[in-house]
Every structure is written in structure tokens, then in C-alpha cells.
Amino acid sequence: MAPPFSERVKRLPRLGLGVSTEYGAAASPDALDVEALHASRPELAAFLEVGVETARGLDATSLAWAAKKRPATYHFLDVNLAEPEDVSDEAWLADVRRIAALLSPAWMCGDAGLWHVGRRERGHMLLLPPILSADSADAMGAGIARLRDACGFEVLPENPPGQVYLGDLHLLDFFARVTERGDTGMLLDCAHLAIFQRALGHSPLTGLDGFPLDRVVEMHVAGSASGTTPDGYAYLEDNHVPAVLDDTWAIFEHVLARAPNLKAVVFECERNPFAACATGFERIAAALRETARS
């Protein structure tokens, strides 16, 4: 019988502060040069979180990083964890194992929502939030355990972005149940949580007092921008710009001081030059140093 998460988490490496990428991101105009950043400021790019859609595989940037045997994590972009047939797709699992063999990731993680409706198709990349219900949480917990057993890596669900949420649970109550049912840790995306809280009229820290913060293994920080629909609905877009919301910083700093098993933080700003992102990197790095001293 496998040991519980409370024991398994002790074996996970402490990765520090890292950067993210996905297929083709490095080719975007003014994209963050992860190789240059690692060479000049390795403490800001200690690992690379690689967004993976198995139909596309790894681009040149990710392959070069993997070839140097540097620390990495595998961020899936193409699996619905709550659907047994999706998690058990043998062809997909074969691709996952092949790509993971190249990356040698510390763990797997990814937005725990709906990446596709119906069959998994190349380039689909639809992402909808999960239904925030007890049944959905139980199904997702089972899917996480199934994928962990099939691939041999810890699988950390991430709270996905969204504007409209169905279900009767608060997002944090939902993921508390997911992590308990799946006996797993979590990737807490602070920007996504800030968007959820704002959309539902909550304060940034609502629900965190009852969330098991010992389950948080990784956190994401990213910038968001305001938008308005043609009919006047105001919303926040998760677009990874360098400007981080005050709400996102409040969540990050609150959790950072209270998450004993935190191993990694990613600043998601992959399509922006370092000069535009430097302030965010420095704030995260300073917060991590202060937490290490306390």
C-alpha cells in the first residue's frame, strides 16, 4: 500500500522559483528568454514548468532545457481529471509517459477543469472550470489517484480560471475535498483564485481559513487585466501580463507564510520580456527569502 500524501510530500524536491512555458510560447514577440534568465539570474529560473499538450509534444525551448537535465515540472493541458475514460486513455498515457521520460519532471500538475468536451482533439485547448459539487470533487479525486498510479508521479490539481462557475461549493471547499479524496497536494494559482473571489463578490482571502494549506505544494503568480463585454459586464482576464493584482499578492503572501509543504513558485509571464517582469520576480524572490529566514 502506498504511503499517504503526508509522507510522500517529504520526498518531493524543493524547486524554488521557476518560470513557465508551453509549446511555441518562446517564439512570441518579446517572449521571456528562459535560457538567458537562467544564465544571468538562475535563482529566478531554478526550474521550468512545461505546459504539455501530448498531440504537440515539446518545442525546442523545452527540449533544450530537458537535454541539460535541469529541474522541470510537467503541466498537462489536455486531460479532464474527473472523467475516468479520459484519465485511462492508453494512447494518451503512452504519450504522457514518453514526454515525461524526456522531461524527468519533479511532478505533474495542471488546471483541473474541462480541457475538452467530447473527444480529445489536437489543438482543442478549451478550458472550463469544474462543476463545484461534491460528486464532481469525488470524481476528480479518483481521477488524480488513477493518473498518479498510471504514471508514477504526484499529480497536483490546479484551480483553473473562469468567469462563470456552476455548483454549490466555494472553490476552496471544492479543492479541499478533491485533495482529501485523491490524497494529494495542490497547485494553488493565486491569480485564478483572485479572479474567482472577485467574480463572486468575495474578499481575496475568503475561504482560506478553512483550507488545508499543508496540501499546497506549488503556487502560481500571474498578472491579470480588466475587460468589459459589449453589454457592459466587467471581468478579469487571466492573460499573464506582468502587472499582478493586489488581490493576487495578498493571497500569495498569506499562503506563503502558512504552507509548510510549499516546494515551488512559478511566475507566469512567459510572453513578456524580463525587463517588464523584473519587479514581480524580485517581489516573489524577496518573499521566499523572508519566509526561509522565519
Tell me the mean pLDDT in the region 101-115.
97
Q: Is the dihedral of CA 86, 90, 96, 97 positive or negative?
A: positive
Domains, the chain, ordered by start:
16-293 (3.20.20.150)
DSSP-based helix, strand, coil % in the chain, nearest 5: 40, 20, 40
How far apart CA 150 and CA 219 sit, in angstroms, is 25
pLDDT at 1: 75
Question: Regarding predicted confidence, which is higher, 285 or 123?
Answer: 285
Dihedral Cα 91, 116, 161, 224, nearest 10 deg: 90
| pLDDT tens digits for range 5-61 | 999 999 999 999 999 999 999 999 999 999 999 999 999 999 999 999 999 999 999
**Mean pLDDT on 53-77:** 97
How confident is the model over 194-251, as pLDDT tens digits? 999 999 999 999 999 999 999 999 999 999 887 777 887 777 788 889 999 999 999 9
118 falls in which pLDDT band (50, 70, 90)? confident
- Distance, CA of 17 to CA of 281 (rounded, Å): 9
| Size (the chain), residues | 294
Mean pLDDT for the chain overall: 95
Distance (Å, rounded) from C-alpha 57 to C-alpha 102?
10
The whole-model pTM stands at 0.96
Instruction: Name the band, by pLDDT with cuts 50, 70 and 90, for residue 254.
Output: very high
